[in-house]
Structure 1
Amino acid sequence: MDVPETRELAYFVAVAEELHFGRAAQRLGMAQPPLSRAIARLERRMGVQLLARTSRSVRLTGAGQVFLTESRKALDAVTASVRRAQRAARTDPKLTLAMKPNGDAGLLESILQHYRRDPDAVAIEVIVCGIGEQAPMLRDGRADVAFLTAPYDDLAGFDTEPLLTQDQMAVLPRAHRLAGRAALTLADLAGEPLPRWPGDEADATDGRQPEVRDISQVMQLVALGQVVAVLPESVRRRAWPDVACVPLLDAPPTTVVFAWPERTTSRAVAALIRAGAEAAEVAGAGAVRRGEIGYQDTLT
């Protein structure tokens, strides 16, 4: 089988994302004719039509959709291999831990305390990134470990260790008609304006969904009466004085997990995962299930 080169994958991804050869060529810093020829050669060698072209449009075929997903993974893997090799060659080793704002459910300080006592510990760099950015940082090698939240984050391709499972609650303006209730259901929130997180599609029937990027922004919008939100119960500690937090009886629980790339063999990463499990146990989280994860087998 004739395996495509990474250069060809990059060409295809640019065209597939832009759905326009001219814009893709500009993005790649090359002329359009050689780009068009390169994609045509790639399709001939693969024996598959990846793009359906007309004089006015370019769209992905079914095979093209699959190839786009796999090409992105392959390019991320190549980039990650370079970054991790560069880090491994450093004389001052360190781990990079990625998290969204408040994404540690209050466990980070305790985790770092446990980690520093481990003989395999190295320096830790904590990067607080935007919502939804942690998994891409793991995939392309910018991070070694990340706090992710199930079921909302994509855990494909990662080993994981559950740290804390939480119920969810409704976050409402204190003057809201439901703010004084002892508990609510999701049905009680029907028709209420909800915030839209990065990557979420806007509800075509509701133009009241402002996009938010962190918990502080959500709290501000709730306090102003512009939205209500459904958030994990750990956010209660950071709630603003003029918002109310009411338990949701039927909202699915969320689980904060440590995630790291599959087949990782770093002893320093293993030490950090152990520290996370220990901190969760001390916190009484009741969500640590080492036997189900097998991280001691994958990280040795």
Structure 2
Amino acid sequence: MLNLEILVILFIALMIDLIISDPDWIPHPVVMIGSLISWLEKYLLKNEDSPLRAKFKGAILVIIVLGLSYYLTSLLVDLSAQLNQYFAYVLDLILLSLTLALKGLIDAGKKVYSALKNNDLELARKKVNLIVGRDCSQSSKPEVIRAVLETLAENTSDGILAPAFYYLIGGLPLAVTYKAVNTMDSMLGYKNNRYINFGFAAARTDDLFNYLPARITALLMTAASFLLRYNFKGALKTVLNDASKHPSPNAGYPEAAAAGALSLRFGGVNYYHGQKSFRAYIGQQNKRFELDDILKLKMLIYFTVALFFISAAAIFALI
């Protein structure tokens, strides 16, 4: 496919995602990938497995899921092209739009914003609990805002720029493969007794795939903060000083850029399954968390995505 065609398809796919997101009548690749992961886990993981055996089986699962995701998507793309090129374009658009989560991400933030704006803290807690891994059932209003800001920032990379990045360098098969990586990590990448060994390969694979997208997101988010007249210097300083403090080798980068741009401090005390956990602070607490911070981050995400597309077009023009 020509560079121009790739860019046009990506742009239209983003527009489709913004307008209709993930319609129920289209089978979602993530659902099918998740079913495969669950089936393999049930077949492979046994309670009597030693740590080494569990890691080995987890690596087998990763290889199978990645191989099937890439191969079946490539096969589908090739077959559709043989049938009709226009049909192939439509299929590419639909499937690519399903790997993107721009509208879903923004809508999730809007739901929390609306609940807080209506002074319904209980509803806001329920809405934020749907999109974060921590327990926010007893969180204060500022903590709910912090939770939604952190997850929106992190998922700007995981849910939008990363699949777009892999589509640009490897087409639809690599974009779907990335979603498989992301899905494996979300299902198996937990540090509990069940998954600490079996999910090791899935978590490390996710770290590898997100290494470049997370840093690209932080760079573009910092540039976007300059265009929006947010705290550009704070964004840059926080990325350089604090991004590596996050327990994830990647999530800290977009979170640091967002925290600095909004002059906020992320991190602190979280609760997971009733257990108190402290996460290192990211950013400087120059102001308190405010409801409008959610709207400001929404604009920062839009500008970051726009800069990604413009940057890709500029690079492709030079190739």
- Shorter-chain TM-score tier: under 0.3
Q: TM-score, normalised by structure 1?
A: 0.27
| TM-score w.r.t. length of structure 2 | 0.26
Decide which structure has greater helix share.
2
